Structure 1
Amino acid sequence: MSEGILLLGQDEWRLIDQSGFNPHFHALQSFAIDDTLCMSVGRGYSPAVARAWVHPKTIVLGIQDTKLSELQEGLAYLDGLNYEWIVRNSGGLAVALDEGVLNISLIFPDTEKGIDINKGYDSMWSLIKLMFQDLGKEIVAKEIVGSYCPGSYDLSIGGKKFAGISQRRIRKGIAVQIYLCVTGSGYERAEIVRDFYRHAKYDAPSKFVFPDVHPEVMASLSELYGLDLTIQSVMLRFLNALKNVSGKMYASHLHGEELQWFQAYYERMIERNKKYKDI
């Protein structure tokens, strides 16, 4: 059994399901929720948490993206498309969210020896492989050059990326996050990110390196499997896979002290984003 699957085998999983489409659920809230849950799990206030979430059309920028030489031109381009945009509280680069993209966060307590960063990534990769093992296509983890937000744990089938994994660590809590392009066109999402970078002059001389996005290397799971997948059908796969490798699972929401912690993290996210737009 791989170390990634072993990490999934928590004694208890607390499930927070925010996968139902809600046009008023803002991505600023999501990143504040995950930081809250990191603190909660790290302090032992909560067991491990599995959270699923979906947002309306939003481009999520990494801190590095704020160094683009013509950032405001890029943001104006997104405004013209009626895309929301936020700057998240972690590294990485721009990703595209919409109602066809399912995000999953796994939030673990760190161990006394410390959970190796690759083990965190492997846990999510293992989960995704379990979710789609019956469909008979190899899911590879390696950087897909030309994708948006490229990294060594890009998930792909046949060389086409459908997901990217990131990690955030706060006070003994570890959040491993993934976006899964479930439905729609991976090419069209990548076109939007590519054109954002072009408007923001990604290729201007800089100490920072931004991706030269090639939309043809991106696809959705529906496209890759040739199936009419939905957020709901992939959610069912997620729940079944997690249930098969873990103990108890129960549904929940933020409660108690978490509500206060959330408010503080949410206000931080708002302050961060006020530098770039009126909120």
Structure 2
Amino acid sequence: MNTHQIFYGETVRWIDHSSTGLQFNPLQSFALDDTFCISTGEHRSAPVMRAWVHAPTIVLGIQDSRLPHIEEGTAFLQEQGYRVIVRNSGGLAVVLDEGIFNLSLIFKEEKLISINSGYDLMHDLMKRIFPDAPGEIKAYEIEGSYCPGNYDLSINGRKFAGISQRRIRGGTAVQIYVAVTDSGPERAALLQEFYERAVQGRTVKYQWPRIRPEVMASLSEIYEQEIDIKDVLYRLLSAARQHGVLMQSSSLTNEELHRFDYLFQRVSERNQKALAFLEA
């Protein structure tokens, strides 16, 4: 089986948190995806497709939380109206807000499927969702972007999305954030200022991003017309139907609800420890 067969032509559980997610604690998304990862890994669930959007939040990487002047950097973000959390997986700082669409594809891990195949699956899906893009959707690292990686998605050299992947107890979650509305450069400038305030010329143990806001853009900016979250949802569901995917609306089972409560408590405790400096 290849990754394309995991979703195309199969029945999947559809979880739509694109509206209700605005009321969630963003840490709930990490616990939810881990919950579904375990369910699929244990053969207790069909593959899951989950859409989610959160209120203004900056998700820091663990390395970001250890920057020499992190207190000043975080204070700046909070002054701008952003909640700050720390993810428990790899990656660096990203922006979440009402104009950022997030999608998780969750399925049972197959030993014959490489990690890159998971990224390729999401890249392929984005090309199917946006066949009318004003340029090829390419996957390669965009220098000067925030949270740079080999699977940055860009059109005409401007990054609009980033893909991450998490594997836990036999399940795989491939996640993407897509800047849909508002200004990509303004989001990038926010993190540019955060890093400057959090580093202040000090020696840092990792290669923190030297952000150039002009390399980031939202889809609305790239298309030069307004695109919103509802447009992306419609495109996603249409692309799924065209490829024979049967989307069944779903929610947490009783077993998953108990597991979610446990995982949410655990990720909250880890986040609290990572941000202990805020209470100092």
Same fold (TM over 0.5): yes
What does residue range 1-279 of structure 1 map to in structure 2 within 5 Å?
Answer: 5-9=4-8, 11-20=10-19, 23-111=22-110, 113-201=111-199, 203-275=201-273, 276=275, 277=278
List per-residue Cα deviations over 1:55-96 (Å, max 9, x = no partner). 010001111212211111111111111100110110100000
Q: Distance in 2 between matches of 1:28 and 1:244?
A: 33
List per-residue Cα deviations over 1:229-270 (Å, max 9, x = no partner). 110011111111122224322001112210011011101111
Q: Secondary structure, in 3 states, of the residue corresponding to 2:267?
A: helix
Q: Which amino acid aligns with 2:184?
A: G
Moved more, 10-19 or 30-39: 10-19
Do the aligned residues in 1 keep the contact of 2:38 with 2:171 (CA within 8 Å)?
Answer: yes
TM-score (ref. length: structure 1): 0.94
Q: Distance in 2 between matches of 1:22 and 1:145?
A: 31
Unaligned runs of 5+ in 2: none
TM-score (ref. length: structure 2): 0.94
- How far 1:129 sits from its partner (Å)? 0.2
Using the aligned pairs only, state the percent identity: 51
Q: Which amino acid aligns with 2:137?
A: I
Moved more, 5-14 or 253-262: 5-14
- How far 1:204 sits from its partner (Å)? 2.2
Q: 1:252 to 1:203 in 2, by over 3 A?
A: farther
List per-residue Cα deviations over 1:198-255 (Å, max 9, x = no partner). 1111752122111001100000001001121110011111111122224322001112
Q: 1:23 to 1:121 in 2, by over 3 A?
A: closer
List per-residue Cα deviations over 1:76-133 (Å, max 9, x = no partner). 111111100110110100000100000000001112x342000000000000000011
Q: Which amino acid aligns with 2:103?
A: I
Do the aligned residues in 1 keep the contact of 2:140 with 2:150 (CA within 8 Å)?
Answer: yes
Moved more, 57-66 or 47-56: 57-66
Moved more, 260-269 or 152-161: 260-269
Do the aligned residues in 2 keep the contact of 1:7 with 1:123 (CA within 8 Å)?
Answer: no
- How far 1:10 sits from its partner (Å)? 5.5
Q: Distance in 2 between matches of 1:9 and 1:159?
A: 29
Q: Distance in 1 between matches of 2:136 and 2:4?
A: 17
Q: Distance in 1 between matches of 2:75 and 2:102?
A: 26
How much is the aligned-residue C-alpha RMSD, in angstroms?
A: 1.5
Q: 1:15 to 1:226 in 2, by over 3 A?
A: same
Unaligned runs of 5+ in 1: none
Q: Distance in 1 between matches of 2:235 and 2:131?
A: 10
Q: Secondary structure, in 3 states, of the residue corresponding to 1:254?
A: coil
Q: Which amino acid aligns with 2:57?
A: T
Q: Secondary structure, in 3 states, of the residue corresponding to 1:86?
A: strand
Do the aligned residues in 1 keep the contact of 2:22 with 2:98 (CA within 8 Å)?
Answer: no
